[in-house]
């Protein structure tokens, strides 16, 4: 649906809310990428990786995944050290047929870990991007169906540290 079609179907208030939410969603994706990049650079320095051949490799790609009956469209971030891999998926529904973000979030995500590239990554935690009162948003862990702690650089580092110890 084009922007012209959207403007004729939806109210200006809805379109303004959608634009604000999309900005927070994009900032949430950027935060994950930037934070993973910083954590990986720090780890790489600790592990003695060289700039031309880093010990910890980071990549991202366009991606979509299911949460319940909804489709989240966004990106997948992969971090690899030797054979260990951490995957972070993050996205939100883009079209009406994709459904909605469960649990009243702006976006959903998932962190998965694998100690070997021949093994599927096993889900470690589900994530949700929630709006804050100041117009920003933060990622949180979902534990036992409830909103858990905020995701920080230290949290992401803890997932990587646990994976490297396996």
The pair of structure tokens assigned to 119 is 């093994």
Share of the chain above pLDDT 90, in %: 60
Looking at every residue in the chain, the average pLDDT score rounds to 89
Q: Which residue has the tokens 């604000």?
A: 20
> Read out DSSP for 84-122?
EEEEEEEEE--SGGG---GGG-SEEEEEEEESSTTSPPE
**How many domains does the chain contain in total?**
1
Does 45 have pLDDT greater than 90? no
Residue 151 lies in domain: 3-165
More confidently predicted of 1 and 37: 37
Q: Which of these, 149, 62, 140, 63, lies nearest to 103 by C-alpha position?
A: 140
The pTM score is: 0.88
């Amino acid at each position: 649906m084009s922007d012209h079609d959207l403007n004729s179907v939806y109210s200006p208030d809805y379109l303004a809310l959608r634009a604000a939410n999309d900005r927070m969603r994009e900032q949430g994706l950027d935060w994950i990428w930037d934070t993973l990049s910083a954590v990986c650079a720090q780890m790489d320095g600790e592990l003695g990786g060289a700039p031309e051949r880093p010990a910890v490799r980071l990549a991202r790609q366009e991606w979509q995944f299911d949460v319940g009956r909804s489709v989240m469209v966004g990106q997948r971030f992969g971090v690899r050290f030797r054979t260990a891999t951490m995957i972070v998926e993050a996205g939100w529904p883009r079209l009406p047929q994709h459904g909605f973000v469960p649990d009243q979030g702006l976006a959903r995500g998932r962190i998965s870990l694998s100690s070997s590239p021949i093994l599927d990554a096993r889900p470690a935690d589900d994530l949700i991007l929630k709006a804050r009162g100041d117009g920003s948003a933060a990622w949180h862990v979902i534990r036992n169906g409830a909103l858990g702690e905020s995701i920080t650089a230290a949290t992401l580092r803890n997932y990587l540290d646990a994976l490297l110890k396996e």
